Amino acid sequence: MLIKVFGSAVFGVEATTITVEVNMDPGIGYHLVGLPDIAVKESSFRIAAALQNNGYKMPGKKIIINMAPADLRKEGSAYDLTLAVGILAASGQINSEEVDKYIIMGELSLDGSLQPIRGALPISIKAKEEGFKGFFLPQQNAKEAAIVSGLDVYGVENIQQIIDFFEGKGTLEPTIFDTRAEFHKTLDFPEFDFSDVKGQESIKRCMEIAAAGGHNIILIGPPGSGKTMLAKRLPSILPPMTLREALETTKIHSVAGKLKEVGLMNQRPFRSPHHTISNVALVGGGSFPQPGEISMAHNGVFFLDELPEFKRDVLEVMRQPLEDREVTISRAKFTVTYPSSFMLVASMNPSPSGYFNDPDSPNTSSPNEMQRYLGKISGPLLDRIDIHIEVTPVPFEKLSEERKAESSSDIRERVTKAREIQSLRFEQMDTINYNAQMSSRNIREFCKLEDSSLQLLKTAMERLNLSARAYDRILKVSRTIADLEATENISSAHISEAIQYRSLDREGWLG
């Protein structure tokens, strides 16, 4: 008897439906074909034990299972439940009339209970697109998959529940998930708030501008000046995610298996990898392709603490994702693309000793040490960072102040208004949502300067020895400063402030 059941494979952040054909013939044997990996081949042992422990058995016949398309490699243990249901249906142990109307996925334990799987959300989206009636998967993933409306999602804890469903027994009900209600749930009190930061008003201003325009930013200052503290509070002033952004972010975390039980992510991610991270861990890939850290930070903040401590080749692989806002992983057997639109926040000491330009502490680094230290950061990478700002230690008088600083919610309100202005400006452009994404053509269109502002920019570039790459960055940041003030024209004051945020372009820094 030939039976067809359906599972799904996830590559990148998209799912592909897998047809599992189970055929029973007289004889003895178990043959699994269709490019299964070792984890899929081992499923026969888990299936046999799970069926035995729930009152069923592996049929004593010749079982041939084909997983189509046969040229697509099937990886992982999530096909256990698919294969088990196919074997039960083909051997007549359960009713087979409805099994081909559902996507079935789940890893079996030996007692028949189910373990969570990865990629439930993209699988659910694909199931709805292809007209399947429903989706069976482990209970732990049910809320995540139920984000997709118009598809019956059944969270099951044991294989017996799905057997009872197809036999017309039991009371298995679809999981109900109110996506919009869940999306609008927000944290009233963020874990890190700018009200905790004493002093550093100019740095807070920089962070506000970076958040308003989606600009990448680098903080340069001695140890203990507050660089990490400020970076961790940046997500608290970013505008709320749209529903589309929340779904995109949830899908990536679902594929990586890092999604919490809440189902829908409504808070922007903050990723801060250690400086020993490898290329693959940063951008993604591997023999079993997974999103990297930069994709996990999609629609959020990616923080690199002590930037020069990262390997230069690791930093260089970020150049293309920073420009294209996606990363493509190409291997001999597959090519996958992961979205990676994030705000880069980096911090660094100004010298190996950390005290270059600090009047209160001596600089013990030689010129050669300085050159090697700063030379780890390439010009093309800095070219993609809009704001460079020097962070100085907070004086005692500020630290001992009792007065509370401005809260993140107040700053976030201004940032959100500036983003709304940008949304209206770019509403006819599919690929641009905020100022940092503007191309040279967009800059010419939306960042027109009066003669006085243009002359100021020219003078600054000549006197401060600013590099040519600073020109576009200054205009983008000026546009954001003007948006924060809700003014249409970029004034000399906006240009003047933006010029201050190009520390590393000045003579004496990076050579």
291: preceding bond cis by omega (within 30 degrees): no
**Highest mean pLDDT of the ranges 97-101, 308-312, 373-377:** 97-101
Q: What is the CATH number of the domain that holds 306?
A: 3.40.50.300
Residue 166 sits in the same domain as residue 200: no
Q: Are 7 and 138 found together in one domain?
A: yes
Q: Quick check: 34 pLDDT over 60? A: yes
Q: What is the token pair recorded at 108? A: 């079996």
**Residue at 186 is within a domain:** no
What pLDDT, on a 0 to 100 scale, did the predictor assign at position 508? 46
- In order of 61, 66, 379, the CA distances from 30 in angstroms are 8, 11, 59
| pLDDT greater than 90 at residue 73 | no
The domain boundary residue, chosen from 127, 151, 177: 177
Mark whether 343 and 264 lie in a shared domain: yes
Average pLDDT over residues 108-117: 95
Same structural domain, 95 and 244? no
Do 143 and 117 share a structural domain? Answer: yes
Q: Within a domain: residue 402?
A: yes
Work out how many domains the chain is built from and give that number: 3
| Domain harbouring 71, CATH code | 3.30.230.10
125 assigned to some structural domain? yes
**Has residue 510 got a pLDDT over 50?**
no
* Count of C-beta atoms within a 10 Å radius of residue 133: 12
Which pLDDT score is estimated for 201? 86
Give the per-residue pLDDT at 384: 85
Are residues 470 and 365 part of one domain?
A: no
Res. 506 pLDDT band, cuts 50 70 90 = low
The sheet that has 14-25: what strands, in order across it? 29-33, 62-68, 14-25, 2-11, 102-104, 134-138, 152-156
Q: Are both 94 and 26 inside the same structural domain?
A: yes
Tokens of 136: 């069976």
| pLDDT (tens digit per residue) in 141-188 | 999 999 998 999 999 999 999 999 999 987 889 998 877 777 776 555
DSSP 143: H
Q: Is residue 173 part of a domain?
A: yes
Is the pLDDT assigned to residue 334 strictly greater than 80? no
Contacts of 22 by beta carbon, 8 Å cutoff, 6+ apart? 2, 3, 4, 5, 63, 64, 65, 83, 86, 87, 89, 90
Question: For the CA atoms of the chain, what is the radius of gyration?
Answer: 28
Kindly indicate the confidence band of residue 126, based on its pLDDT and cuts at 50, 70 and 90.
Answer: very high
Q: Please check the confidence at residue 221 and state whether its pLDDT lies above 50.
A: yes
Mean pLDDT, the chain, integer: 87
pLDDT given for residue 259 in this prediction: 79
Q: Which of 145, 177, 209 is the last residue of a domain?
A: 177
- For the segment 60-84, the average pLDDT, to the nearest whole number, is 93
Q: What are phi and psi of 411, to 5 degrees?
A: -65, -40
Contact indicator for 352, 182 with CB cutoff of 8 Å: no
**Same domain, yes or no: 169 and 213:** no
**Position with higher pLDDT, 480 vs 324:** 480
Question: What is the mean pLDDT of the segment spanning 431-444?
Answer: 89
Identify whether residues 307 and 374 lie together within a single domain. yes
Q: What is the mean pLDDT of residues 60-73?
A: 92
Domain boundary among 407, 424, 457: 407
* Residues 85 and 223 grouped into a single domain: no
Question: What pLDDT is recorded for position 12?
Answer: 86
Q: Which pLDDT band, with edges at 50, 70 and 90, does 401 fall under?
A: confident
Question: What gap in Å lies between CA 292 and CA 290, rounded to an integer?
Answer: 6
Residue with the larger pLDDT of the pair 353 and 302 = 302
> If pLDDT is split at 50, 70 and 90, which confidence band does 59 have?
very high
Domain assignment of residue 507, yes or no: yes
One domain for residues 324 and 381 = yes
Fill in the DSSP letter of residue 141.
G
Q: Where are the beta strands (DSSP E) in 382-494?
A: 387-390
Q: Which domain holds residue 301?
A: 194-407
In a domain? residue 390: yes
Whole-number percent of the chain with pLDDT over 90:
54
Tell whether 68 is covered by a domain: yes
- Same domain? 141 vs 245: no
Which of the residue ranges 290-304, 330-344, 356-370, 376-390 has the most confident prediction, judged by mean pLDDT?
Answer: 290-304
CATH of the domain at 488: 1.10.8
Q: Which residue has the higher pLDDT, 402 or 34?
A: 34
Does residue 429 belong to any structural domain of this protein?
no
